[in-house]
Amino acid sequence: MSDADRPSRMTEAFFGRRRGKPVRPQQAAALESGLGKYRLDLVAAAPPDLRVLFEAKVSAVRLEIGFGGGEHLLHRAIEAPATGFIGVEPFVNGMAKMMMAVRAAPLANLRVYDDDATQLLDWLPPASLDGLDLLYPDPWPKKKHWKRRFVSPVNLDRFARVLKPGSKFRFASDIDTYVNWTLLHCRAHGAFAWQAADAADWHRSYEGWPGTRYEAKAIREGRQPAYLTFVRT
């Protein structure tokens, strides 16, 4: 799909496709039952302590924005059953894939939201998250589209509001201009300290990193991933 074919702006920060191939009947059934079980209802006020949102007893809550097919989210949620994970993905086919996986193996420490992450961020109480992952956000490589990038002063304000002091914001990308963009915006914002121990640091993947589907494609196409970690000061 070319940029010109993309649907016009539908929400504040979502400019991508909502749907790809038609979902198969089995996926449609998994979507319906999965969203019924895992989807967060933003009409109700958010609880002051997000841990109560989960069926499992959890001690921390993390957010992943734009989880795609959910490969990374699933891996993290299985690896850390005592952490609650909220995943956001407006692309129906990605959400369907994730819901198929949790239909086969349900997770008591998962909740999802299927629309623009800015809506969820504004719903969350202040200082309520123990971590936030933005992994391979839509790159918008053309300069005229840079303003569509999820990292922006207004969204960094949102991150700063919902992250607990000392918690981490992680950003991975294979697009050099987006990596520089994020470093510059975080530095200018003031609430995020970049954690890089040495020059090689930003090419070292995160601990226990399973990779993502988009990352595998980037590597196949010869682009090098960068992994940034910022601490909410």
Ligand X SMILES: C[S@@+](CC[C@H](N)C(=O)[O-])C[C@H]1O[C@@H](n2cnc3c(N)ncnc32)[C@H](O)[C@@H]1O
Q: Which of 161, 169, 131, 191 is nearest to 46 (CA)?
A: 161
Task: Compare residues 37 and 152 and give the one whose CB is closer to ligand X.
Answer: 152
Q: What whole-number distance in Å separates Cα of residue 88 and Cα of residue 225?
A: 22
Q: What whole-number distance in Å separates Cα of residue 195 and Cα of residue 222?
A: 26
Task: In angstroms, give the least distance from the CB of 198 to ligand X.
Answer: 25
Residue type present at position 121 = L
Is residue 99 within 8 Å of 69, Cβ to Cβ?
no
Binding ligand X by CB under 6 A: which of 40, 61, 65, 162?
65
Binding ligand X by CB under 6 A: which of 34, 62, 63, 66?
66
User: Taking CB under 6 A as the rule, does residue 122 contact ligand X?
Assistant: no
Binding ligand X by CB under 6 A: which of 23, 110, 124, 135?
135
Stated length of the chain: 233
Task: In angstroms, give the least distance from the CB of 57 to ligand X.
Answer: 28
Task: Compare residues 12 and 32 and give the one whose CB is closer to ligand X.
Answer: 12
Helix (H, G, I), strand (E, B) or coil at 132: strand
Name the residues annotated as catalytic: 138
Give the footprint of ligand X on this chain (CB under 6 A). 13-14, 16, 65-68, 88-91, 94, 116-117, 135-138, 150, 212-215
